[in-house]
A and B are shown apart, each in its own frame.
Chain A
């Protein structure tokens, strides 16, 4: 039995949100403008992910080159101080490798890689603070980082998590909800209703997937709108600089 009342009869969650409320979401583009071709930072609640994108550029290793399309390489670094108790993560950890592989596959669908053959795009994701599932934050940060780097893409991918408290789906779970409940991470391309990424942790009953997906897709659209606004702000600031 959990120490927390995950979802009260009044419909409130541990941090006082309703089932369909996102945490505070903040994002910015070009946060590390000198360090890389594209960069972005995403905060979801207390989670914080920084993304730096280098490329499309000449591949460092010839063996990793593709003559037909650009190669997307994702490295996820989790800082030792990111969780409540300090834990040192190594880059060859299974979970992180799986995460970066999932990210590579998700973005392979929207990145127009065939426009830049014989190049590679290196994406470094730094998780500076983690509160709950880090996948959604990584997807959002990577999407903005790629946009900031000017990599041609079909559309945004916005992502958000959903946890299931019995039959009630909870949007954007924090670390308490994530550790107690089975959860899904969903990514949606642009303004469509299609989930381009669904990852389930633990087992979920089949008839509960539909309401969870609906809620997640709604959340993703909100995230998409916030990110879209930030992209436009960045674009305008760049335009202003060119005019001057």
Chain B
């Protein structure tokens, strides 16, 4: 619903005053509640569905495939209902999410590598059924849950099959054999190493001299700029980028001192979200 200039001005005044009053009575550093389910799709290695009370709803499915090993082992696609395939939003979201996942050596250099020659190609496919505020936050939560629930088949030890082979000779990459897997799914191994959690993304909006986390669509309309922060390995890390949230009448920049404040907002609420997502399993 489009807001009038008066309504926008009212919203902006209430958000920039002390104390900050948000339309849904949250604190500046409080996230909206989300609901999630995991392992919902029978045809995937891991899947999750995340819902937010504003009607945002997304489903993520993870599939893996054995391929010749190369550097680019993760594919991310985003499909948003109602938007065309060549629309900028799903494509830019997919790029950002791929960038975030590619910079996780915990999975790209570890769980996805089978041997010198073969690796798993991981496809993370996101379907956004509906959204009102920027879908990046629930997408990242859904990918978090889906990756956490992803299991890969257990690789069988190949040594017993070729006892006659000369073990002293080291194998070159070309000779690496085709991997064999255990067909018992209860023996499958989780993709994420023990104690490691996938990255989460947070959006923070700057409105005059205040910053608010997880802005609603109307809050983004009166904000000067919005940025997203990545939370990885228990700290804020790259990529941190400005986010195009459409043309707003107050368009401006993110002041450096607000950036520090935004940092601390993310640092305050990220561990709690991580914990609650983990405990829901």
Contact = CB atoms under 8 A, between A and B. Distances in A.
B198 interface: no
B246 interface: no
A34 B84 contact: no
| Size class of the B contact interface (CB-based, 8 Å) | 20 to 34
A81 B79 contact: no
B259 to A, nearest CB: 33
A129 interface: yes
Contacts of A48: 41-42
B233 to A, nearest CB: 28
The A contact surface, by secondary structure, is loop
Please indicate which of the listed interface residues A36, A80, A91 has the most CB atoms of chain B within 10 Å of its own CB: A80
Contacts of B79: 77, 79-80
A77 B61 CA distance: 14
Given A35-B55, A129-B43, A77 B123 contact: no
A122 B129 CA distance: 13
Given A35-B130, A77-B81, A83 B43 contact: yes
B137 interface: no
Contact of A128 (B54, B56, B59, B123): B59
* Main SS at interface, chain B: strand
Contacts, number: 81
Contact of A34 (B47, B55, B85): B55
Given A34-B54, A91-B85, A82 B77 contact: no
Interface string A69-111: 0000001010111111110101110000000000000000000
Nearest to A88: B77
Interface in A26-52: 32, 34-36, 46, 48, 50, 52
Interface of B: 41-44, 47, 51, 53-57, 59, 61-63, 65, 77, 79, 81-82, 84-85, 123, 125, 127, 129-130
Interface of A: 32, 34-36, 46, 48, 50, 52, 75, 77, 79-86, 88, 90-92, 122, 124, 126, 128-130
19 contacts: A32-B51, A35-B56, A35-B130, A46-B42, A46-B43, A48-B42, A52-B81, A79-B61, A80-B77, A80-B123, A84-B43, A86-B63, A86-B125, A122-B82, A124-B81, A126-B59, A128-B41, A128-B61, A128-B127
